[in-house]
Amino acid sequence: MEGEEEENVGPFRRTSARTRRMATRMASALASSDNRAQAALARLEALENDNAGPEVVDPNDDDEYGSDDEEDHVLMQKKQSKNMKRKTRQGKALEKKAARSFMDVLHEANLESLPPHVPTYSRAAVGPPSTSSRRYYCSVCGNAANYTCVRCGTRFCSCRCQVIHNDTRCLKFVA
Amino acid sequence: MTGGSGVVVLDNGGGLLKAGFGGDMNPTAVVPNCMAKPPGSKKWLVADQLQAQDVDVTGMALKRPIDRGYLINTEVQREVWERVLRNLLQVDPTNSSLLLVEPQFNPPALQHATDELVFEELGFKSFCVADAPSLVHLYEASHQPSLFRAQCSLVVDCGFSFTHASPVLQNFTLNYAVRRMDLGGKALTNYLKELVSYRSLNVMDETLLIDDAKEKLCFVSLDVPGDLRLARLSSKDNPFRCSYILPDGITYKKGFVKDLDEARRYCSLPANGESANNDSAESDRSKFEDKKKPELSQNEFVLTNERFLVPEMLFHPIDLGMNQAGLAECIVRAIQACHPYLQPVLFESIIVTGGSTLFPRFTERLEKELRPLVPDDYQVKIIAQEDPILGAWRGGSLLAHRPDFESMCITKSEYEEMGSMRCRRRFFH
Ligand SMILES: [Zn+2]
Ligand SMILES: [Zn+2]
């Protein structure tokens, strides 16, 4: 959990605070060695993430658009009335919609119920490869990796990289 | 300024938004389709504001309207579109028509939300949607006589959110044969972020900077094992080694490649990668160099094999643990889902488009992967678009300039009268 704040955008983090160490999401994913498949899925999920991570619904967010150094009364009122207008027009449904993910929409669309000849998002998926020979790359240096860490399942290529892995990366950030 | 048509053409990509006027050669605006907020600030920067020279994108929180290629957050999208329409295109939507490039298989709920945004929020006069493959085909067929004669092509769109292989026949996308890989530029950037963060410097918050590093430094390998061997050489002999400098907020507001000549060294390697120094695999072990050299500055990271291992995932997603066929197989499956008469023609009319096809050697590698999967008596011909980021937009510009364009649109009053669902039937999906 401690890693979570580092990971997301800490409001006052400066460039100089950047650290030379592994990303915390990776660390926590790898640390759950009891369920590596889940960690692998989490990692693939993360490939579609943005900096801010999952959207946090903040009711005051709207006020943050535009300049914040001219917050005189009139402007505030104008903003408020604009927001009010927007809210009544769209209703709460749109607010909820905005916070959904594509996967939620897909689930609601219930594509499986369509007759089999109708092309859909799900039916357009390319499917698994015909040859499933996966190549593994060393997590430390990127070379072809022939060894697996018995503790966390991470791949490495040589004794040298194993040492680096064990010393600085393997299960390092378990709380 | 306008192409005379008064039609706004909008290719609303997950990464870049392309907007301009029908009839023009190029879009007026090519801007990030997102909003971002600097750490500690309350002010969100929208679209082109992120490109300003004095803006340092370090650590910015991002909001994107598009999730997995689909318009999900209409609130954010409205902010971006308003900025683009009012400030960059300077149009009044109530006097304009809109041609929007819409993702394939857009679920009805999202079509509905898009219609609402276009007609109710922005108040466009009339509206038409088209899918990217048919527009890319339209544009290329107007330039390539052979495509024009064949009337069909296989459009490979490798964009920000995903990759589609779509057969197009007489300007219609054959939806039943479209195949999709859930891998595009966004995933590649995030993968590079992960590798750099794991190996040297925590850049997990630097999507925009790593995106830039990826665009400037990544390329497609034609011989992965050979290149991996070369990548193990020490810095002077390692043709891939180069470094990227992140902004420090004082001297540098933008990230940049430290030494462009160094970064281009790989280009002068023998083309087919059959490296002469096979023996180096053994001897380089001693020369192997730890990347965490003490003299590296705090704002710098080095790339070697990451430069080609990242785009490599398009060809072998299984290496990432994604149980999906790679690009070559994706293309073959799309073509094989078509009528047998079409197949040989499609194999020789493959158009590659989308920002992720800009990696150097992309086309050569694709051809190399594709050839063994295609019957010997078929030709394989890959057409790389001149500007793959603008392909769909330019097709849209042609379509919007056609005399019958308005008849393809639904008008605001039709929408108000019949609602989203019935109006949509005109768009033949
Ligand atoms: Zn290694
Ligand atoms: Zn380990």
Same-domain pairing of B46 and B147: no
pLDDT tens digits along A150-170:
888 889 999 999 998 888 777
**Distance between CA atoms of residues B146 and A41, nearest Å:** 44
Beta-carbon-side half-sphere exposure of residue B291 (alpha carbons within 13 Å): 27
- Decide if B115 is inside a domain: yes
Q: Does B305 sit within 8 Å of A142, measured CB to CB?
A: yes
- Establish if B18 belongs to a structural domain: yes
pLDDT at A23 over 80: no
* Co-location of B219 and B177 in the same domain: no
Closest C-alpha among B412, B384, B379, B408 to residue B396: B408
Mean pLDDT (chain A) is 66
Backbone angles phi, psi at B157, to 5 degrees: -110, 105
CATH of the domain at B229: 3.90.640.10
- Cα angle at A111 between A106 and A115, to 5 degrees? 170
Choose among B104, B231, B325: nearest Cβ to A127.
B325
Are the C-beta atoms of residues B321 and A135 closer than 8 Å to each other? no
- Cβ of B309 within 8 Å of Cβ of A137? The answer is yes
State the pairing for strand pair B126-130/B97-101.
Answer: parallel
| A46 interface with B at CB cutoff 8 Å | yes
Indicate whether B290 belongs to any domain: no
Residue A59, Cβ neighbours under 10 Å: how many?
A: 8
What pLDDT, on a 0 to 100 scale, did the predictor assign at position A51?
A: 74
Judge if B157 and B84 occupy the same domain: no
Domain C-terminal end among B313, B346, B375: B313
**Residue A37 confidence (pLDDT):** 78
Alpha carbon B116 to its chain centroid, in Å, reads: 26
Among partner residues A11, A48, A105, which is closest to B110 by beta-carbon distance?
A: A105
Structure confidence at residue B119 (pLDDT): 95
Is A48 in contact with B107 (Cβ distance < 8 A)? Answer: no
Q: What is the pLDDT of residue B128?
A: 94
pLDDT score of B294: 45
pLDDT value at A44 more than 70: yes
* Exposed/middle/buried for residue B82 (C-beta within 10 Å: 0-12, 13-18, 19+): middle
Residue A28 alpha carbon to ligand 2 centre in Å: 12
Asked whether residue B379 is assigned to any structural domain, the reply reads yes
Distance from CA of B403 to the nearest CA of A (A): 31
Closest residue of A to B177, CA-based?
Answer: A124
Q: DSSP assignment, residue B352?
A: E
For residues B301 and B336, membership in a common domain is answered with: no
Tell me the shortest Cα–Cα distance from B289 to chain A, in angstroms.
10
The ipTM estimated for the assembled molecules is 0.86
Going from the Cα of A157 to the center of ligand 1, the distance in angstroms, rounded, reads: 4
Residues B306, B257 share a domain: yes
- Between residues B413 and A1, the one the model is more confident about: B413
Q: What is B194-243 written as a DSSP string?
A: HHHHHHT---TT-HHHHHHHHHHH----S-HHHHHHHTTS-TTT-TT-EE
Q: Are A15 and B58 in contact (CB under 8 A)?
A: yes
Burial B353-374 (b: 16+ CB within 10 A, else e): bbbbbbbebbbebbebbbeebb
pLDDT greater than 80 at residue A33: no
Using a CB-CB distance cutoff of 8 angstroms, which residues of chain A are in contact with residue B199?
Answer: 140-142
CB A149 within 8 A of CB A170: yes
Does B207 share its domain with B305? yes
- Give the pLDDT confidence score for residue B210 in this predicted structure: 96
Domain tally, chain B: 3
Instruction: Point out the residue among A51, A119, A143 whose CB comes nearest to the CB of B62.
Output: A51
Distance in angstroms (rounded) separating the CA atoms of residues B29 and B11: 10
What is the predicted pLDDT for the residue at B426?
66
| Confidence at residue A100, expressed as pLDDT on a 0 to 100 scale | 81
Pick from A67, A105, A137: CB nearest B107? A105
Q: Are residues B343 and B423 in the same domain?
A: no
Instruction: Give contacts of A70 with chain B, Cβ < 8 Å.
Output: none
With respect to residue B276, please indicate whether it lies within any of the assigned structural domains. Answer: no
Instruction: List phi, psi (to 5°) of B97.
Output: -100, 155
Same domain, B155 and B251: no
- Domain check: are B354 and B245 in the same one? no
Torsion of CA A100, A103, A108, A109, to 10 degrees: 120
**Residue B139: CATH number of its domain:** 3.30.420.40
Q: How far is CA B279 from the centre of its chain?
A: 39
B284 part of a folded domain: no
For chain A, say whether B87 makes contact (Cβ under 8 Å).
Answer: no
Q: Which residues of A touch B231 (CB under 8 A)?
A: 142-143
First-to-last alpha carbon distance for chain B, in angstroms, is 33
Give the separation between CA B251 and CA B257, rounded to whole angstroms. 15
Query: How confident is the model at residue A113, as a pLDDT?
Result: 87
User: Residue A74: which pLDDT band, with cuts at 50, 70 and 90?
Assistant: very low
Which residue's structure tokens are 């409001």? A11
Residues with Cβ within 5 Å of ion ligand 1? A 138, 140-141, 143, 157, 161
Q: What is the mean pLDDT of residues A60-76?
A: 43
The answer to the question of residue B333 being in a domain is yes
pLDDT at B35: 96
Residue range of the domain that includes B403: 7-132+392-427
Q: Is B98 on the interface with A (CB under 8 A)?
A: no
Please identify among residues 81-110 of chain A the ones whose CB lies closer than 8 Å to any CB of chain B.
89, 94-95, 97-103, 105-106, 108-109
B222 and B335 inside one domain: no
Q: What is the pLDDT of residues A89-112, one digit of tens each?
A: 444 444 444 458 898 899 888 888
Check whether residue B120 and residue B77 sit in a common domain. Answer: yes
The C-alpha angle B184, B189, B192, rounded to 5 degrees, equals: 125
Residues of A in contact with B321 (CB under 8 A): 40, 43-44, 134
pLDDT of residue B231: 92
- B66 with B25, same domain: the answer is yes
DSSP-H helix ranges across B298-390:
306-315, 327-336, 343-347, 362-370
**Given pLDDT bands bounded at 50, 70 and 90, which one contains residue A39?**
confident
B45 occurs within a structural domain: yes
B325, A130 in Cβ contact below 8 A? Answer: yes
Q: pLDDT tens per residue, chain B (429 residues)?
A: 444 568 999 999 999 999 999 999 999 999 999 999 998 888 999 999 999 998 999 999 999 999 999 999 999 999 999 999 999 999 999 999 999 999 999 999 999 999 999 999 999 999 999 999 999 999 999 988 888 788 999 999 999 999 999 999 999 999 999 999 999 999 999 999 999 998 888 999 999 999 999 999 999 999 999 999 999 988 788 999 999 999 988 888 899 999 888 889 888 877 554 444 444 444 444 344 444 444 567 789 999 999 999 999 999 999 998 999 999 999 999 999 999 999 999 999 999 999 999 999 999 999 999 999 999 999 999 999 999 999 999 999 999 999 999 999 999 999 998 877 767 776 654
Which amino acid is it at A32?
A: S
As a three-state string, the secondary structure of A52-98 is CCCCCCCCCHHHHCCCCCCCCHHHHHHHHHHHHHHHHHHHHHHHHHH
Q: What is the pLDDT of residue A34?
A: 55
What's the pLDDT score for residue B122? Answer: 96
Contact status of B76 with chain A (Cβ, < 8 Å): yes
